[in-house]
Amino acid sequence: MYITAISFDPIRLVNNAVFWFFLVLFLVTWVMRVRRERAGQSWPTTTGIIEWTGVIDEDRQMRAEVRYSYNVNGEYYSGLHFRFVTRERAGERIIASFPKEMRILVHYKPDDPSIAVLDTEEIKARQRQQRAPQFEEIR
């Protein structure tokens, strides 16, 4: 009968721990964001204006960003809507739905108007419209 020794590789252990840590962190962050966006759809609304859009690439993490401002009870606030993307082209398609100075529906938290989310139905409608084939009129 042979007895085999169990090998212990500390580098592999650390690599696995780091991987699982960041995976769990990503999932928790994503779940919290989705929950806030869903809860926010029942908050009061106001009209916002798109101030800036762009595709940001930082530390190999690419995201499409939409920065907007809105007014609640005479006070101005700003918000950020973003989506992680794998390619710049995907990010450009997202931000193409949000031209600068366009008006957009914003849901804000009643007890803290500095917390806000964009209206998901409006976002979905804009993205569907962006994907729809565009036909030119032939004269």
Q: How confident is the model at residue 18 (pLDDT cuts 50, 70, 90)?
A: confident
Segment 104-113, tens digit of pLDDT: 999 999 999 9
Single-letter amino acid code for the residue at 126: R
Q: Which two tokens stand for residue 22?
A: 């960041």
Beta-sheet pairing, 103-109 with 45-58: antiparallel
**Whether the Cβ atoms of residue 49 and residue 30 lie closer than 8 Å to each other:** no
Q: Give pLDDT tens digits for 53-104.
A: 999 998 878 999 999 999 999 999 999 988 889 889 989 988 888 899 999 9
What count of Cα atoms within 13 Å lies in the side-chain half-sphere of residue 85? 19
- Look at domain 41-131 and name its CATH class: mainly beta
Instruction: Indicate the pTM of the whole model.
Output: 0.67
Sketch the domain layout of the chain as residue ranges: 41-131
- Closest to 62 (Cα-Cα) out of 40, 30, 92, 34: 92
122/21: higher pLDDT: 21
Instruction: State how far Cα 84 lies from the chain centre.
Output: 6
